[in-house]
Amino acid sequence: MRPIYQSAAEEPRQRQPGGHAGLWFDKFCNQWLVQAGERRSWSLRASSNEKAGSNPKQDWIATVTDKPVGVREEIREAVLRRLQLVQACGGRVAVLRTQSRFASGLGRSHPIENGFAWHPTLGTPYLPGSSVKGAVLAWARETGVDPELHEHVFGAAERVGSLCFLGAIPLAPVSLEADVMTPHYAGWSESDPPGDWRSPTPIPFLTTAVDTRFLFSFVPRARVPAAELDRVMQLLVDALETVGAGAKTAVGYGRMVRDDACLDELRSEFKKEESRRRDQQRRAAMDPLDRELEDLAAANTSQARFITWLQAAKDGQWSGEALRSVLERIRREMEREGCWLPLPQENKTKRKHHERTLLVLRLMQEGSST
């Protein structure tokens, strides 16, 4: 039982599907060992009577590596909103794919000794905006970027920088994997120096699997030249490809490569979503009758709109003022299409339009007499 629960009945037994993996991982660890004694001591060390190789820390990590974390629909909405924000602010975006395992937030406090950076609302791994800015800043210093540009972009003690770096978020639910570090020389002293004969102390930690795609972005705080924005984005990409991001980059973790094909697909989806959103706004502002007529026409695209409307009017779908309004719309539509023909016609197709014209006139007359 976990220390924060009064009874076993209150204790969550497993992570719920669709739940926030970060809250589960940080708050509900159930691998505690209660050591006997006058004062109970909680520990994640395996007890002496447990089977060989048992590792409570590794067992807890396994609770979030069994299936991808994050809800696809929520992640998609967050990504599309981010694209909308960046576009509105005139910023830059890039998709980068991990080429090695990625670990963010290992320095955070956690019972398993190594924490993890969870997005506060999505429940997925992410890289905070401050870490993104730090990675670009370190690379700019390493490559000797012009000091004037350096101060303008990243700021100084007496002024804020011109760009706001946003946290990097994944594009889809993320697969997590367990990794382990083994410091061979822990606990040594001058009288007991380190040596290869010491037994390693395995310390497990959580990582993001290879081939995870993240959306990186930044926006200007004020007007910034496009060339400067492009230069900073190139610095960001170069930093992630060369040095990496997150923890343990010195041993190869956190390397990423730009994925422009994925970004193109994302932008295409964004355009469709924007078109759908604008259409929803347009329809919401429409007169209800206009919206009904539009839906009728969309349901039957094999014939002219006025024919569909006329059939519905003939079948009695409207009455009173609504019917008169629909008939006026039908008349205007037929006149616009050159199909309003009150006089008899010789041509077969025109005869049909003549008959429809007479039907509209008859329905108008009947409507005006009621």
- Domain-wise residue ranges, the chain: 68-183+197-276, 286-368
8 A C-beta contact, residue 171 and residue 95:
yes
Of 42 and 100, more confident: 100
What share of the chain in percent tops pLDDT 70? 89
The predicted-structure confidence for 208-259, as pLDDT tens digits, reads as follows: 999 999 999 999 988 888 998 999 999 999 999 999 999 999 899 999 999 9
Q: Which residues contact 31 (CB under 8 A, 6 or more apart)?
A: 44, 56, 57, 59, 60, 111
Q: Which of 44-53, 112-121, 130-139 has the lowest mean pLDDT?
A: 44-53
pLDDT at residue 100, as a whole number: 95
**Long-range CB contacts (< 8 A, 24+ apart) of 325-329?**
325/289, 326/289, 326/293, 327/360, 327/363, 327/364, 327/367, 329/293
8 A C-beta contact, residue 344 and residue 354:
yes
Residue 33 has pLDDT above 90, yes or no: no
Residue 362 has pLDDT above 60, yes or no: yes
Residue 45 has pLDDT above 70, yes or no: no
The candidate with the shortest Cα–Cα distance to 332, out of 360, 292, 366, is 360
pLDDT at residue 169, as a whole number: 97
**How many Cβ atoms are within 10 Å of 315's Cβ, its own excluded?**
8
Q: Cα angle at 166 between 160 and 169, to 5 degrees?
A: 165
The predicted-structure confidence for 324-341, as pLDDT tens digits, reads as follows: 999 999 999 999 999 999
Give the global pTM: 0.76
CA dihedral 321, 322, 323, 324 (to 10 degrees): 50
Q: How confident is the model at residue 152 (pLDDT cuts 50, 70, 90)?
A: confident
The whole-chain average pLDDT of the chain stands at: 87
Strands (E) across 279-337 are located at none
pLDDT at residue 46, as a whole number: 55
- Looking only at the bridges linking them, the beta strands covering 92-98 and 213-220 are antiparallel
Give the tokens for residue 45: 């060390």
Of 27 and 129, more confident: 129
Residue 8 has pLDDT above 60, yes or no: no
pLDDT at residue 1, as a whole number: 47
pLDDT at residue 6, as a whole number: 58
Residue 297 has pLDDT above 70, yes or no: yes
pLDDT at residue 197, as a whole number: 74
Of 197 and 293, more confident: 293
Q: How confident is the model at residue 361 (pLDDT cuts 50, 70, 90)?
A: very high
pLDDT at residue 87, as a whole number: 93
The candidate with the shortest Cα–Cα distance to 82, out of 17, 167, 161, 187, is 167
pLDDT at residue 222, as a whole number: 83
Give the tokens for residue 141: 């210093």
Q: Which of 213-217, 284-288, 366-370 has the lowest mean pLDDT?
A: 366-370
Residue 233 CA to residue 215 CA, distance in Å, equals 12
**How many Cβ atoms are within 10 Å of 116's Cβ, its own excluded?**
24
Q: Which of 70-79, 162-171, 279-288 has the lowest mean pLDDT?
A: 279-288
pLDDT at residue 150, as a whole number: 75
Residue 224 CA to residue 228 CA, distance in Å, equals 7
Question: In which element (H, E) is residue 147 found?
Answer: helix 147-154
> CATH 2.40.128: does it fit domain 68-183+197-276?
no
Q: How confident is the model at residue 40 (pLDDT cuts 50, 70, 90)?
A: low
Residue 189 has pLDDT above 70, yes or no: yes
Residue 198 has pLDDT above 80, yes or no: no
Residue 114 vs residues 98, 120, 122, 205: alpha-carbon distances, Å = 21, 18, 21, 6
159 has which bridge partners? 156
Q: How confident is the model at residue 3 (pLDDT cuts 50, 70, 90)?
A: low
The residue type at 235: L
Residue 133 CA to residue 164 CA, distance in Å, equals 8
The predicted-structure confidence for 92-105, as pLDDT tens digits, reads as follows: 999 999 999 999 99
